[in-house]
Amino acid sequence: MENYPSFNQLIQQSIIDNWDLDALTDYKGATLQFHDVARKIEKLHILFENSGVKRGDKIAMCGRNSSQWAVAFLATLTYGAVAVPILHEFMADQIHNIVNHSDAKLLFVGDHVATQVDPMQMPNLEGIINNPDYSLMVSRTEKLTYAREHLNELYGKKFPKFFRKEHVHYYTEENGEELAMINYTSGTTGFSKGVMIPYRALWSNYDFAEHVLGKTIKRGDRVISILPMAHMYGMAFEFVFEFLHGCHVYYLNRIPSPAIIAQAFADIKPKIIIAVPLVIEKIIRKKVFPKIQNNRMRLLLAMPVISKKVRELICKEVINAFGGELYEVIIGGAAFNQEVESFLKRIEFPYTVGYGATECAPIICYRDWKTFVQGSCGQEAYHMKVKINSSDPAHIPGEILAKGPNVMLGYYKNEEATRETLDGEGWYHTGDLGTMDYDGNVFINGRSKNMLLGPSGQNIYPEEIEDKLNSMTMVVESVVVQRDNKLVGLVYPDYDEAKNMNFNDADITNIMEQNRLQLNEQLPAYEKITEIEIRKEEFEKTPKRSIKRFLYT
- pLDDT attached to residue 417: 92
Q: Return the bridge partners of 446, or none.
A: 433
- pLDDT attached to residue 68: 96
The pLDDT tens digits of the residues spanning 368-385 come to 999 999 999 999 999 999
CB distance 209 to 241 below 8 Å: yes
- pLDDT attached to residue 77: 98
Q: Please tell me the least confidently modeled range out of 101-115, 281-295, 432-446, 476-490.
A: 281-295
Question: HSE-up of 458 (CA within 13 Å, CB side)?
Answer: 21
Flag whether pLDDT at 296 surpasses 90: no
- pLDDT attached to residue 317: 86
Close Cβ partners of 57 (under 8 Å, ≥ 6 residues apart):
81, 82, 105, 106
- pLDDT attached to residue 188: 63
Alpha-carbon distance of 324 to 367, in angstroms, equals: 22
Flag whether pLDDT at 111 surpasses 70: yes
Candidates 507, 478, 495; CA nearest to 536 is 495
SS (H, E, C) 130-149: ECCCCCEEEECCHHHHHHHH
pLDDT band at 294 (very low <50, low <70, confident <90, very high): confident
pLDDT band at 544 (very low <50, low <70, confident <90, very high): very low
Candidates 503, 496, 506, 461; CA nearest to 479 is 461
Alpha-carbon distance of 379 to 114, in angstroms, equals: 42
- pLDDT attached to residue 203: 98
CB distance 229 to 65 below 8 Å: yes
The DSSP output letter for 157 is H
Instruction: Give per-residue burial for 486-523: e unless 16+ CB within 10 Å, then b.
Output: ebbbbbbbbeeebeeeebeeeebeebbeebbeebbeeb
| Average of per-residue pLDDT values in the chain | 91
- pLDDT attached to residue 504: 94
Average pLDDT over residues 141-159: 97
Average pLDDT over residues 131-151: 96
Average pLDDT over residues 287-295: 77
The pLDDT tens digits of the residues spanning 200-252 come to 999 999 999 999 999 999 999 999 998 889 989 999 999 999 999 999 999 98
Candidates 454, 530, 65; CA nearest to 277 is 454
Integer angstrom CA distances of residue 133 from 68, 79, 158, 268 = 8, 19, 21, 26
pLDDT band at 446 (very low <50, low <70, confident <90, very high): low
Q: Quick one: what percent of the chain has pLDDT higher than 70?
A: 96
Q: What is the CB neighbour count within 10 angstroms for residue 296?
A: 8
- Burial class of residue 47, CB neighbours in 10 A (0-12, 13-18, 19+): buried
Alpha-carbon distance of 487 to 526, in angstroms, equals: 9
Flag whether pLDDT at 466 surpasses 70: yes
Global pTM reads 0.86
Close Cβ partners of 364 (under 8 Å, ≥ 6 residues apart):
355, 356, 357, 380, 381, 384, 386, 400, 402, 406, 430
Flag whether pLDDT at 47 surpasses 50: yes
Q: Return the bridge partners of 379, or none.
A: 366
The pLDDT tens digits of the residues spanning 119-130 come to 999 999 999 999
Alpha-carbon distance of 110 to 112, in angstroms, equals: 6
CB distance 326 to 273 below 8 Å: yes
Flag whether pLDDT at 141 surpasses 50: yes
- pLDDT attached to residue 284: 83
Q: What is the CB neighbour count within 10 angstroms for residue 118?
A: 10
Flag whether pLDDT at 149 surpasses 50: yes
The pLDDT tens digits of the residues spanning 164-214 come to 999 999 999 999 999 999 999 876 656 678 999 999 999 999 999 999 999
Flag whether pLDDT at 454 surpasses 70: yes
Task: Report the DSSP pairing between strands 452-453 and 428-436.
Answer: unpaired
The pLDDT tens digits of the residues spanning 347-370 come to 899 999 999 999 999 999 999 999
